[in-house]
A and B are shown apart, each in its own frame.
Chain A
Amino acid sequence: MKPVISFRNVTKSYPLYGSFTSGIKNFLFHLPTAIKEARCGQFQALSDISFDIHSGETVGFIGSNGAGKSSILSLIAGVIQPTTGEIEVNGRVSPLLELGAGFHFELTGRDNILLNGVLLGLTKAQVLAKMDQIIDYSEIGQFIDQPIRSYSSGMLARLGFSVVAHLEPEILLLDEMLAVGDASFQKKCLRKMMEFREDNVTMVFVSHSMDDVLRICTRVLWIKDHAIFLDGSPGEVVSAYLSQNS
């Protein structure tokens, strides 16, 4: 079967923005180092990574900070391009946004659902058709017609998750999403993700919470030093990861 996400020898390097972007004054004062930096200042976030993710898999990426996990998510979402290598993604990608991203704080919850839904790739009619379901699911109740600057962070998280949960995602990208919200909301998220798993939605999950990774994922990739260090079942990879870090 054709993989949903396929990385072939993907390398991603970022230019280092040093003295040049910090202004012409700095550039002139530190001319020799600045020129050197401009010529070879490259930071490699991912080096020569290859993997396939198949339909219905829930893949967790673990690893220490700065290992390159978020770059993988951005590459899958298509917001950045690989330096070399090829990436193929088949299906609509829905990223779960960080708290409040893509929201406008002066608008009501209802307006924001429309805004967020459209930004995430649905047409207006599609969002409006699901509006009531989304509002119900978010449990925001009467506050839905209030500007969201009055919302608590838990309410924002619920609103954001409700939109994504009703997008009918094909590929869902989750970056540390379970960290916010109270216990009952987290339970609800987990339940929804289990539903997604049954519906064969492909999920890519980046987290530092090994409990969540063990609970949700069907496969885990450990990213270390910008490359894949270990790829296998959650139990196996997580215990190796934990034993190395203890």
Chain B
Amino acid sequence: MRQDLRYFFDLVVVLTAKEIKVRYKNSMLGYLWSIALPLCFACVFYISFKVVMRIQMENYALFLICGLFPWQWFSNSVNSSAMILLGNSSIIKKVKFPRATVCMAMVLNDGVHFLLSIPVIALFLYLHGFHPSWTWAYGLPMLFVIQFLFTYGIVLMIASINLFFRDMERLVSVLITLLFYFTPIIYSETMIPPSYQPLIALNPLASLTIAWRHLFLDGHMLVTHVSISLAWAVLLFSLGTWTFRRLSPRFAEVL
């Protein structure tokens, strides 16, 4: 049992290291790309909503950045999830190894890139006269784990279902666009009209986004939102693991 755990750990480490090494292998700017993309989106939204549509909010640029970086991690992982098993088909068809590690390594890779972008968030906070707070010391690891479980669960579901129902891939790209606009990333939760407020609870990602933003901006861990997102994370993780377990014996047949 201990040997198994040791092996599982090694497998995840080696696969994640591979993903990290490979990602920007042939690009000159490398890691800068994982920062450039959210910053670029932040610029676009800033121009559309602050400059053109005159949204009433102080530090809107900072507000955007605090939401867009966690979103980037989530959407990168989910977007590649449909193809992850297909891309590794040659090995899945031949070797019996815990296949979920491939998905885990992908989510961790995007997670590591997110961690590497936190100094950039801190820099922007500093430029706006904010300071990282001591709550980050436990807040960041907690939210990191919650978002990891959350994303990993969804990735496991999409990856395994897509082998049997290949339309999943298209569906995901549509749903992820919808989810982006239904999540309080470019607007704040307080701007949602009261009659629509209860709908926030239906969006699994809303609480997590709100929790991240408050942690970054004012150093608070919002107990309600953190608990709600933890509950979603546990639910999605269990659902994902269960789906993957059910479907994985037939992976090699349908690949």
Seen from chain A, the residues whose Cβ lies within 8 Å of a Cβ on chain B are: 14, 17, 21, 74, 77-81, 93, 95, 97-98, 100-102, 104, 106-107, 111, 114-115, 118-121, 123-125, 147
Contacts and interface: CB of A to CB of B under 8 A. Distances in A.
Given A97-B90, A107-B18, A77 B11 contact: no
- Give the size range of B's interface with the partner: 20 to 34
Interface stretch (B78-86, B94-102, B111-119): B94-102
B26 interface: yes
A120 B94 CA distance: 10
30 contacts: A21-B166, A74-B93, A74-B94, A74-B252, A77-B94, A79-B92, A79-B93, A79-B251, A80-B252, A95-B94, A97-B91, A97-B94, A97-B95, A98-B90, A98-B94, A101-B91, A102-B94, A106-B25, A107-B22, A111-B18, A111-B21, A115-B14, A115-B15, A115-B18, A118-B10, A119-B11, A119-B97, A121-B97, A123-B10, A125-B10
Nearest to B3: A123
Contacts of A77: 94-96
Given A79-B252, A124-B10, A104 B18 contact: yes
A119 B91 contact: yes
Contacts of A102: 90-91, 94-95
A78 B96 contact: yes
B182 to A, nearest CB: 27
Contact of B95 (A14, A100, A111, A120): A120
B6 interface: yes
Interface of B: 6-7, 10-11, 13-15, 18, 21-22, 25-26, 90-97, 166, 249-254
7 nearest interchain CB pairs?
A101-B90, A79-B252, A78-B96, A124-B10, A102-B91, A118-B14, A106-B25
Q: Of residues B11, B94, B166, which shows the largest number of chain A Cβ atoms within 10 Å of its Cβ? A: B94
Given A74-B252, A119-B11, A123-B7, A101 B94 contact: yes
A79 B25 CA distance: 32
Contacts of B253: 14, 80
Given A80-B252, A118-B14, 20 more contacts: A17-B254, A21-B166, A74-B93, A74-B94, A77-B95, A79-B92, A79-B95, A79-B96, A79-B252, A80-B253, A93-B96, A100-B90, A101-B90, A101-B94, A106-B21, A106-B26, A115-B14, A118-B11, A118-B15, A123-B6
